[in-house]
Chains A and B, each alone.
Chain A
Amino acid sequence: MAKILEVKGLTKQYDKVLAADKVSFDIEEGEIFALIGPNGAGKTTTIRMISTLLIPTDGDAVIAGNSVVKHPEKIREDITYLPDEAGAYKNMTGIKYLRFMAGLFTSDIEKINAYVERAKNMCGLGDRLNDKIGTYSRGMARKLLLSRAVMTKPKLAILDEPTSGLDVLNAIEIRKMIKKLAAEEKMSFLLSSHNMLEIEFVSDRVGIIAKGHLMVTGKPEELKERYGASNLEEVFERVVKNSEVH
């Protein structure tokens, strides 16, 4: 499988805080990779650097052959980013929002229509798309935003805490959508979550991150076996304890 993303020693130093320290991993085509760790571990910083929102202090990330440091504008054509707890324009209707976002990726009306149609089918909001986003429930808004993030068939969809704040049923639905897109359309995903149990079900591989360091990467099953754990939470606990001992 071809590598869609190669992260090489990404580092972000704020004034006194080292938010990400030489983070390296890669994602293959059609793969779902999840960065997991507690709040403040460095997940969002890493994701924001890959999304071209933050400029790395050191290191680089290459997406489909383009560097986030040298050619961020090219990267933006190949990715979509869904921030954690992102909102949308509350006075816009759902359909207008989709059309507006599609218009940022292409000027071709036919493509815009195709993107919007795809998002309409995926979000399952039906006639509610004609209502203002301000009237949506949290789950509805998240489905709208998620369908926006995948409607352009990006090479890499970056989703920060995609199911945060959602009830179980909505979260399951979104996880299924992600898995389906990766399997059927070979779309690659970079997810982040502090919910390690949930991520175990959706991701092909995970990277455990704590205090800005990417401790270990691997398939959930491999990691559980390697650390003799029954779930990813236990893996995380053992990885962090081992690193403190060493």
Chain B
Amino acid sequence: MKFINLLKKELSEIITVQMIATMGVLIVVFMMMGNLMSGAIDSVVEDATNPKINICDLDDTELTDSLINGLKDAGAEITEISVNSDNYAAVLKENKIKNLIIIPDGFTESVENKEKPKLISVSKMESAATLANITNDNSGAASFINNCVTNIVAQQTGMSMEDIDLITNPIEVDENTVVADKTANISISTITAKLASQSSMLPIVLFVLIMLTSQSLITSVSNEKIDKTLETLLSAPVSRVSIITAKMLAAAIAALLNAVVMMVGFLVFMKDITNGVTEQLGEVVGESLSVDKALDVLGLNLSVGQYILVGIQFFVTMMICLSVSIILGSLVNDAKSAQTAILPITIIVMFPYVITLLTDVNALSTVPRILINAIPFTHSFTAMSNLMFGNVKMFAIGLGYQILVFAVCLFIALKLFKSDKILTLSLNFGKKKKKVQTED
């Protein structure tokens, strides 16, 4: 009963109207992002299906006319532009266009003389964003013209298209990917791209959750200390274990709520994007389905049991963060320090997060591998990968290590709460000195 009383109070402190409003805003933001991305993808797909190509035909021959007509027949929307200078930036600006293909004078002559004809492609780069530049890229049109010219050259030299294909692609690569003892007839790059799109969400969600819950718990504990409500609690007939457990459980419940909201939001976001693609490009779905089948064959689709194991590991990760947050919050004596107290957690979570994004920790040489694996959060980010690729032993070691770290952190937190150090010890984060407090 006393514990429930404490838990209710902690929940009311953490799950506030502001937090619920933030979660609502988060869902709306995800939906808006999804719609926005879906719109952007629709526009890219539309442009890919019916590209808008600006062409300046300086050669103006029968051949170049037929090339332009061929592009039109393939679904391209052609706008003919007149260019009088080689200041391409000025040309694009003057005509308010973002791409341009120039067929220079002498193009046909070069083709007829069996020389390599020159084609000028001009694309405007407006930002570093991938989607923003796709529609400005002329490579599709250039490739089309290249194929047409290949046809002409084939006719000129008396070669068949099969001969041309044999010359340009003399070997056929039968790509196979092996995972542990399973093999699938698919390229490793396709599998890697699929896995990246599937599993990128969980570490991001975990990372954000760790930050959110750690900060809220540090703030909760430090506020109690600063407002001296902690002294009132500690002098009341309620066990210190209950006080800590109630705080951690409330933070864990809040984390769970946040996790559900973020997952739902992310799923809405991903669904909008996927719909944007699949509605327009049916064939992509076919490819994607075959990739899914390959993942099954390779055993890279996690089973329900494996997802539960990942869930357990994520839970232990959260518990480590919460116990560390309790310790950090207990050592804070002012609001300013409370804001920077999360820094140690950020660093030890961020480091393995970035490392695991870039490389396979298990493939590193001994010393860096041991050092990175010594950070308990590394095992959270490698959990899915370890289970997918059959490194069950590594997963088990990681989980065991995390449980041990959690036990140690919890022990320290309990020790701190049971001693009077919680009131006398203070670490001024961001300041140099560690000091012991005294009072009247």
Contacts and interface: CB of A to CB of B under 8 A. Distances in A.
A82 B234 CA distance: 11
Looking at A92, A104, A107, A192, the one whose CB has the most chain B CB atoms below 10 A away is: A104
B236 A86 contact: no
B238 A104 contact: yes
Contacts of B95: none
B177 interface: no
B420 A54 contact: yes
A15 interface: yes
A105 interface: yes
Contacts of B232: 81-83, 86, 101
Interface string B217-249: 000000000111101111111110000000000
Given A91-B12, A103-B1, A41 B440 contact: yes
B9 interface: yes
B341 to A, nearest CB: 20
A85 B1 contact: no
Query: Interface residues of A toward B: which range?
Result: 35 or more
A40 B16 CA distance: 39
A203 interface: no
Contacts of B268: none
Nearest to A78: B237
A14 B438 contact: yes
B356 to A, nearest CB: 38
A143 interface: no
Interface stretch (A22-30, A44-52, A217-225, A227-235): A44-52
Interface string B77-99: 00000000000000000000000
A85 B439 CA distance: 13
Contact of B234 (A43, A53, A158): A53
Nearest to A85: B228
B238 A107 contact: no
B438 A19 contact: yes
B229 A53 contact: no
Contacts, number: 100
Nearest to B242: A104
A149 to B, nearest CB: 9
Contact of B423 (A48, A73, A82): A48
B5 interface: yes
A86 B228 contact: yes
A25 B294 CA distance: 81
Interface string A46-71: 00100111110000000000000000
Contact of A54 (B2, B238, B424): B424
A215 to B, nearest CB: 15
A14 B424 contact: yes
Interface string A101-143: 1011101000000000000000000000000000000000000
Contacts of B303: none
Interface string B179-195: 00000000000000000
B419 interface: yes
Contact of B237 (A19, A91, A96, A104): A104
Contacts of A89: 9, 13, 227, 229
B436 interface: yes
Contacts of B237: 73, 76-77, 104-105
14 contacts: A14-B424, A43-B440, A53-B235, A54-B424, A55-B419, A76-B235, A80-B236, A81-B235, A83-B232, A84-B228, A86-B229, A91-B13, A107-B1, A192-B440
Given A77-B237, A104-B237, A192-B440, 4 more contacts: A19-B438, A51-B231, A53-B423, A89-B227
